[in-house]
Structure 1
Amino acid sequence: MAKIIPFRAVRPTRSKVGLVATRSYESYSQYERDSRMSYNPYSFLHIINPGFKYDKQITGKERYTLVRNRYLEFKEDEIFVQDEKPSFYVYKIEDRKGQVFNGIIAASSAKDYENNIIRKHEDTLEHKEELFKTYLKTVGFNAEPVLLTYPDNPVIADIIKEAQKEFAIFEFTMTYRDTHYLWKIDDEEHIATIQKEFEKINTIYIADGHHRSASSYLLSKDENASEHDSYNYFMSYLIPESDLRIHEFNRLIKDLNGLSKEAFLIKLDSLFRIENRGTTPYKPSKPHHFSMYLDGEFYSLYLRKTIYKFENVLEELDAQLLYKTILQPILGIEDLRNDKRIAYMDNSNEMYTIKTAVDSGEYEVGFGMVPATIEQLKAIADNDLKMPPKSTYIEPKLRSGLTIYEF
């Protein structure tokens, strides 16, 4: 059974929240970060990039200490305030494409992660886990929730709807034209009901935030936390499975591994039925079908299922299938995480991003696929298997600095 608890969030004042909130640090270019910090003294980027103040690149433990200092300054200047009562927080996002996401920000149990109640579908890197654990221990807070998903629950849905009838604590629109809303649930009866409903749920799944979850778990072990110690929990945003959006990442390859175009197509023919689709962008519509852009033309690749057999649920995932049939045996790409010959693009512009990248000469061939399903994600996690890197592009994308969980 899943355990979540309310917490006393530290959050921006209503007047500053739109200025404080940021996307994830890695999603900005250096130019974007510098521009935002130059003109917005309230941006959360000032906290996580403290070296900007000194016009210096600062790394390691020194940076972590300065992050802590900037955070305390935001609290001292009352840019951040802390709620008096432990609460759950209803968080709603309406993005520019008209998608709506509703969920609850809460503190989830590191023990649930250890006991596989919170399940993962991606591998994590040990050095990154340790690095982020040290970061968390030094700064003393979570500023971006881990995205978790749970089976749709009508009782929880009704409480969320009830909370949204009240005046929102936050309501603001970002430059990406997505609008964010936050409501507080501090009524003890509603809190108890939400907790009881989650206790009925045997399994919840990490949608995004595998390294943050793993690092929070390591931190709880390091601190020898008691059952009620804040180190035993990490901030999460829990949304029902029906609200989760899973998109694909397209693959771009720099060369054909020494093969001519003709030789490459002949090798593909052994496992795929190939059709030339000409210059019109083609996007596949079924599992085990791929699109390919090569030498100015689009192709459809249909797997010959009478030849290729699936051994487990991971092998049925298209990202894994593409790797096992083309990327590894034909194009010679062994390490999907570190090989410099492969790049990944989300599907925001569908096949046009592939065409542009290949036409530029930077890449030789590009592949598109249909997205994974929530059922595949869960089945892979349930079987303790791991997806290849960049198998899923998950929405919603959350903002940093809206609610903060302190240790």
Structure 2
Amino acid sequence: MVKIIPFKAVRPTRDKVSLVAARSYQSYSKEQRESRLRDNPFSFLHIVNPGYRFEKEISGIERYSLVKNRYLEFKEENIFVQDEKPTYYIYKIVDRENQEFNGIVAATSALDYENDLIKKHEDTIEYREIIFKEYLKTVGFNAEPVLLTYPDNAVIKGIISEKQKERPEYEFTTTYRDTHYLWRVDEPELLKNIEEEFKSMPHIYIADGHHRSASSYLLYKDLKALNPNHQGDEPYNFFMSYLIPESDLRIHEFNRLVKDLNGLSKDAFLIQLDTVYRIENRGTNPYKPTQKHHFSMYLDGDFYSLYLRKSAYNNDTSLDSLDAQILYKTILEPILGVEDLRNDERIFYMNGKKDIVNLKSNVDSGDFAVGFVMVAVTIEEMKQIADDGLKMPPKSTFIEPKLRSGITIYEF
């Protein structure tokens, strides 16, 4: 039984929302960040990069405190205002490729995370969880929702469709050419209907935001322990999420590039591969696999198809059948010596939305020795691995939609 609740979001005023909304800080180049900070005084980047005002890089607790100060300034200047009533927020994104995403921004339960009603499929790094938890504890708000997915539901779909016939609270297009819409849902009957529909679900799944949800859970544990009058309905018991139906989720692959062949010659490398794969040289024409357990490899100016030999690998679990795991267990670890997929500086990940020619260019430049291309993980694979309590290798999925920060803000 999944619990979600409406909340009183802090939001930009209608006239400034397009100026406030920002992609994740890391997704901008240095030049792009500097341009937005210089030319747009309303950008959310001013909040998360408070050192810009002082023309210096600031980190740690000092930065967190300044982030809180910048946030309070945005509220004092009425760039941000808070809704008066608890609300669900229907949020729609239409991207530059005309893909449409429809969902609900709500507060989801930290207890559901603890009890595995919110299921995970990806490992997290402990120090990153702790750092972001301390950040949240200092600033007192979260401005980017975790992306969760739920089984398609006719009642919720109907509520969303009806609400979208009204004039949206927000409608704006970004320079990235995606268009965003937001509708407020605060009618008591609709609030109850949405809450009841989620209560009928045995569990939902994290699609993107494993570290954010883990950090929010750690924050909940800390603040609960510090509160002798803990009741269970305090804001820290929940974290902000964007919930979309499974049919709206878009999953792309993450391809791999490795800097060297681990001391092997090209021929010696291919001979070792031959024990596990049927190999065919495809020449210079880009080759992209279309089936599970098939891989594309780019090496020394040529593309190769690699077909897994069934007799050479055992698929004992749902994780074993995942292509990212197969690539790791048959090539990256035993042949190329890449053991730590998170921290080894010899491996680089490229999301599958980028053209395969981009991968080729990175090898041709000499920066990498070899590249591997996979097919995307399916929603069924992702759910099965989560249901089995297993975790995918890092960078197994590149999931859309990618959300903007600063459109709805959750305070605790």
User: TM-score, normalized by length of structure 2?
Assistant: 0.98
For 1:46-61, what aligned pairs fall within 5 Å after superposition? 46-61=46-61
Q: Deviations over 1:127-179 (max 9, x none)?
A: 11111111111111110000000000000000000110100000000111000
Choose from 291, 294, 297 the match for 1:292.
297
For 1:233-244, what aligned pairs fall within 5 Å after superposition? 233-244=238-249
Whole-Å separation in 1 of the counterparts to 2:174 and 2:214: 30
Q: Which residue in the other structure is 1:63 paired with?
A: 63
For 1:41-190, what aligned pairs fall within 5 Å after superposition? 41-190=41-190
Q: Which residue in the other structure is 1:348 paired with?
A: 353
Choose from 290, 298, 303 the match for 2:308.
303
Contact 1:226 1:232 in 2 (8 A): no
Aligned-residue offset at 1:183: 0.3
Greater alpha carbon shift after TM alignment, 38-47 vs 119-128: 119-128
Whole-Å separation in 1 of the counterparts to 2:163 and 2:111: 29
Structure 1's unaligned 5+ residue stretches are none
Choose from 378, 387, 393 the match for 1:382.
387
Contact 1:219 1:231 in 2 (8 A): yes
Secondary structure at the counterpart of residue 388 of structure 1:
coil
Percent identical among aligned pairs is: 68
Q: Which residue in the other structure is 2:201 paired with?
A: 201
Whole-Å separation in 1 of the counterparts to 2:321 and 2:146: 27
Supply the AA of the counterpart residue of 1:20: V
Whole-Å separation in 2 of the counterparts to 1:398 and 1:349: 19
Q: Which residue in the other structure is 2:366 paired with?
A: 361
Supply the AA of the counterpart residue of 2:405: S
Tell me, yes or no, if structure 1 residue 27 matches structure 2 residue 27: yes
- Structure 1 moving runs of 4+ over 2 Å: none
Secondary structure at the counterpart of residue 251 of structure 1:
strand
Q: Which residue in the other structure is 1:216 paired with?
A: 216
Matched residue pairs, number? Answer: 407
Q: Deviations over 1:304-329 (max 9, x none)?
A: 11332211000110000000000001
Aligned-residue offset at 1:238: 0.2
Whole-Å separation in 2 of the counterparts to 1:350 and 1:393: 14
Structure 2's unaligned 5+ residue stretches are 225-229
Aligned-residue offset at 1:30: 2.0
Whole-Å separation in 2 of the counterparts to 1:299 and 1:80: 54
Q: Deviations over 1:253-280 (max 9, x none)?
A: 1111111111111111111111111111
Q: Which residue in the other structure is 1:278 paired with?
A: 283
User: TM-score, normalized by length of structure 1?
Assistant: 0.99
Whole-Å separation in 2 of the counterparts to 1:86 and 1:42: 26
Choose from 317, 320, 326 the match for 1:321.
326
Whole-Å separation in 2 of the counterparts to 1:345 and 1:155: 38
Q: Which residue in the other structure is 1:337 paired with?
A: 342
Contact 1:172 1:180 in 2 (8 A): yes
Aligned-residue offset at 1:59: 0.8
Aligned-residue offset at 1:351: 1.1
Q: Deviations over 1:369-407 (max 9, x none)?
A: 001111111111111111111000000000000000111
Supply the AA of the counterpart residue of 1:213: S
Q: Which residue in the other structure is 1:261 paired with?
A: 266
Supply the AA of the counterpart residue of 1:11: R
Aligned-residue offset at 1:349: 2.6
Aligned-residue offset at 1:287: 0.4
Contact 1:169 1:184 in 2 (8 A): yes
